[in-house]
Structure 1
Amino acid sequence: MTDLPLSSQHVLDWHDACLARADWPVSDAPLTEAGPEQGLRFWILSNHRFNNLLWNEEDLARRTQVSAEEIAANKRAIDRYNQARNDATERVDELLLIALGLVEPESARTDAPVSRVAPGARLNSETAGSMVDRLSIMALKARAMREQTQRTDVDDAHRASSQAKLDRLLAQRADLGRCLDELLADSLAGRAYFKVYRQFKMYNDPRLNPALVREAAGRQAG
């Protein structure tokens, strides 16, 4: 393989194209375009969609004039979308590691992937998938801040402050994109590598969450 499997510009363009859609993130159309192989773009868009759904639920969970039941529903949705977001991030890492030749393909999704890392390569503390995830969140932040610059119900000072923050967010997003490109290039050249770091969200697992374990034990005792 002589070409990188992904560039930050691909990610930025895909994220922005989704956010420009009026039906995003309700529609699941981008999640079915990749076909049965469910490739890298599929999982990047999946991660982005779940981040957007998570963002929306986080806004709703801050409401102060709704019932406790509605807030509880928001919290459960947040947990569900956060788990799905992390699962998609891990899948991005697995596919990139395979594409870069850093892992035996058949072992990529196991708990003991077989490494193909070149001797002397440095381990990057952040994975490429987590960078893609952060780029998604920064795209959401930039959109939200841009909307603040366009408000007509606030004064000029608010819009100016929001514009300054937007400029900083866009600079940070560009910096992160360059870091992703450098990690992928260094990984392809054998100078660097990353791993899939499983998140192990214990609170979502009824076998590991102590409160859910106690609930289950109580039901069995009753």
Structure 2
Amino acid sequence: MKFDAQEIAARQSELTARWHQVAPAAAGEGFHRLLEENHLRNFALWHEEDVARRDDLGFEAVYRAKRNIDRFNQERNNFAEEMDKAVVAALNPPVSGCPRNSETPGMMIDRLSILALKEYHMHEETVRPDASAAHKEKCAGKLARIRQQRTDLTGCLADLFADVAAKRRTFSAYFQFKMYNDPALNPQLYRHAPQSGRA
């Protein structure tokens, strides 16, 4: 399987624009499905974070948003790790004997996903009808930096794919083992869980 960093970044931008017009849904097959599922969670996360920062919705809405944020964040991480598994299966990275990349492809794709969302929303600020000229100018400067960051990161991902395929570089998929959602690992959950069998 060939992994194309430019195609990945373009797909994330395309989905971001489309999902602001129609109900978001992941499609595709194989690796492309994992890519879209990861981006879908980041898309949902972005908008739940906005909700969680509103003071006019009341405690219950913010509580629900926080729970959604935790769930989407866990799922987003899971799909990034599944992408790493797919890359390992397809490219068979060397175990040793070459430089080791500190970031995995899945982590880089996840960052590109967030940058695609950031680019879309920062562009919105540059054309916001009720915003001042100073606000638009400031956001235009930020937008240029975001686009440069996306370009640079896309290039780094392309280089990593090429180097791993050629056995010039490798990476390790350690997995993050997020603890806060696991009742067996979060002390606030396992210490305060309802106890069954008590008189």
Normalised-by-shorter TM-score class? over 0.9
Distance 1:88 1:152, change over 3 A: same
The residue number in structure 2 matching 1:209 is: 186
Deviation at 1:13, TM superposition (A): 1.4
The residue number in structure 2 matching 1:18 is: 15
Deviation at 1:67, TM superposition (A): 1.6
Report the AA paired with residue 122 of structure 2.
M
Alignment of 1:32-47 (within 5 A): 33-34=28-29, 39-47=30-38
Question: Structure 1 residues 4-13 or 187-196, which shifts more?
Answer: 4-13
Deviation at 1:119, TM superposition (A): 4.3
Normalising by structure 2, what TM-score? Answer: 0.93
The residue number in structure 2 matching 1:60 is: 51
For each residue in 1:89-113, what CA deviation from the matched residue of structure 2 results, as whole angstroms up to 9, or x when unmatched? 00100101111122xxxxxxxxxxx
Question: Structure 1 residues 194-203 or 54-63, which shifts more?
Answer: 194-203
User: Does the 8 Å contact 2:81/2:175 carry over to 1?
Assistant: yes
User: Does the 8 Å contact 2:52/2:62 carry over to 1?
Assistant: yes
The residue number in structure 1 matching 2:149 is: 172
Report the AA paired with residue 88 of structure 1.
F
Aligned length: 199
Give the root-mean-square deviation of aligned CA atoms.
1.7
User: Does the 8 Å contact 1:145/1:165 carry over to 2?
Assistant: yes
Alignment of 1:50-199 (within 5 A): 50-102=41-93, 117=94, 119-199=96-176
For the residues of structure 1 that align with 2:88 and 2:17, how far apart are their CA atoms? 30
Deviation at 1:27, TM superposition (A): 3.2
Normalising by structure 1, what TM-score? Answer: 0.84
State the SS of the aligned residue for 1:81.
Answer: helix
For the residues of structure 1 that align with 2:24 and 2:135, how far apart are their CA atoms? 33
For each residue in 1:106-157, what CA deviation from the matched residue of structure 2 results, as whole angstroms up to 9, or x when unmatched? xxxxxxxxxxx16421111110110000000000000010000011111111
For the residues of structure 2 that align with 1:174 and 1:83, how far apart are their CA atoms? 27
User: Does the 8 Å contact 2:41/2:76 carry over to 1?
Assistant: yes
User: Does the 8 Å contact 2:42/2:114 carry over to 1?
Assistant: yes
Distance 1:187 1:22, change over 3 A: closer
Distance 1:149 1:40, change over 3 A: same
Question: Structure 1 residues 71-80 or 186-195, which shifts more?
Answer: 186-195
Deviation at 1:211, TM superposition (A): 1.1
Identity fraction in percent: 41
For the residues of structure 2 that align with 1:64 and 1:10, how far apart are their CA atoms? 39
Deviation at 1:54, TM superposition (A): 0.5
Distance 1:80 1:95, change over 3 A: same
Deviation at 1:208, TM superposition (A): 1.2
User: Does the 8 Å contact 2:5/2:157 carry over to 1?
Assistant: yes
For the residues of structure 2 that align with 1:159 and 1:145, how far apart are their CA atoms? 9
Distance 1:55 1:219, change over 3 A: farther
Report the AA paired with residue 6 of structure 1.
F
